[in-house]
Chains A and B, each alone.
Chain A
Amino acid sequence: MKLAILSESPADEAAIAVLVEAVIGHKFTRVQSSLRARGWPSVAQVLPSIIRHLHFNTDADGLIVVVDSDDSVVHTAPHEAPEYYHPMCRMCQLRAIFRQTMKKLPPAHGRDRILRGVGVAVPAVEAWYLCGLEDSVTEANWIAGQTAAQPPYTRRQLKGRAYGTERPNLYQETEIAVREARRHARDTRRLEYDFPGFASLASELRAWPKVS
């Protein structure tokens, strides 16, 4: 299987690759290494071009996109209703960009479209790395904090807790991101339960048709 990953840093990319392999149950080949976005809204801006590029210029089977939610509206069950679209939800926005971009594309490289895998880390990918280590770090707690206008933690605090410093260098960040992703890779159920933004990604990956 040939996949591309769009993320915000090489550390995220390395960890996401580990998680994706755990979910699909086998290794994959990286088609276009080092796709990168400068955070939101840059991801949304570059995504159509990346989809078109992968579709026409590569033989990629799928594209995986993982972004941080930051302080945006978190994707919840009501957003999954048919035709529902929340304009402030990054999951809804990314899925819509995929839909709108791909419906205009003719078949290429023997496939109708590239497969989609979208994940949103709430509020940041460091929360995924802390999942199972700190019980208070969950998507539900974050949403409860948002509702009460008292966020349970900040992005900066999550960094400090995940990496042991608020200013990790890329090497430290990658090492810890991959270590925690490997911990989850042994059994992704806790991460899926505590972080529906990851469960959505896992669900999409599992729904992909088998590609040789």
Chain B
Amino acid sequence: MDFDLSEEQSLLKDSVERLLADRYDFEARKRHGRGPHGYAREMWQAYAEQGLLAVPFAEEDGGIGGGPVETMIVMEAFGGALVLEPYLATVVLAGGLIRHAASAEQRAAWLPGLIGGETTYAFAHTERQARYDLADVGVSARRDGEGWILEGEKSLVLHGDSADRLIVSARTAGSRRDANGLGLFVVEANAPGVSRRGYPTQDGQRAAEVSLSSVRVGPDDVLGSPEGALPAIERVVDEAIAALCAEAVGAMDRMHRLTVEYLKTRKQFGTPIGTFQVLQHRAADMFIALEQARSMAFLATMMAGEEDARERTRAISGAKVQIGRSGRIVGQGAVQLHGGVGVTMEYSVGHYFKRVTMIDALFGDADHHLARVARLGGLIAA
């Protein structure tokens, strides 16, 4: 049992942190966010050049063969800098679906463009009525000769407005919440019948509502079994949650540091406010919440690759609960201890607060995952 990074992992951590320190301070982030897609194409290219987009892919697919630990390293650093680029959407979500469900021919066709930074992806899955139920899919896919025709509405598609390709989940059989009868279809974002309404999200990122009207998909653009995609979706969403846990830890860690720094420098009543015990204890509570979250992010990372879906899900859900709860403690505490400046757009701490709050709402909030842990019989072995 050890928590140490290998030499390669340490190098990855150093290189991504150095890149962000050089090119992603809070002022730079503001500029990056003003780009046409709400992020910086040149940063995306920089990630590609550093191999960050290749992290989770097998070497034979042109990747670097990293696992959940490598993804954790990247995402934690991204959380610390509040990175805006569509890494989760393209590499973790779409990349994950391609890794787990695509054929060798499909991987050869799609991954070079993804890893090279030329093509971005988004996962069009959530629908208005689904809340956090991954099986709740109403968009339909009906047979059309060798191919398929997609019909319906997708919602909250992360970075769906800028993605070059969409991976769309659709129902090929069964009724709306059935576990069976789901397929995954790769669609060019500018294909006839696809329309998108992009908008900013609370945390400065982007999402889109996607409408699919008689969108034709060829037989080569179906990922895996057109009726049995749910296990792959669940697996990839678990991986995404583990990645988000790491991102949240990076963001919470930075928020906490900013807060402690502020307590040391801000003076009232003629003394730094960090000398007041009531504020010290709140900072200590935030520290405890941060470290408990970090511990559970490690657990999520360790379990993200677990083949036993039940064991994996329990641990991932447990981690998501902890991240959600810690996020509230650290985020609200950071804003409170900063006083008025904490609620301004101008200063960074509130932006971390917003991102961490939105992470709770992605792929199931703390309440959702708590109910799931309870249904699965808890986390402590009987």
Say whether A associates with B. no
Residues on B lying within 8 angstroms of A by beta carbon are: none
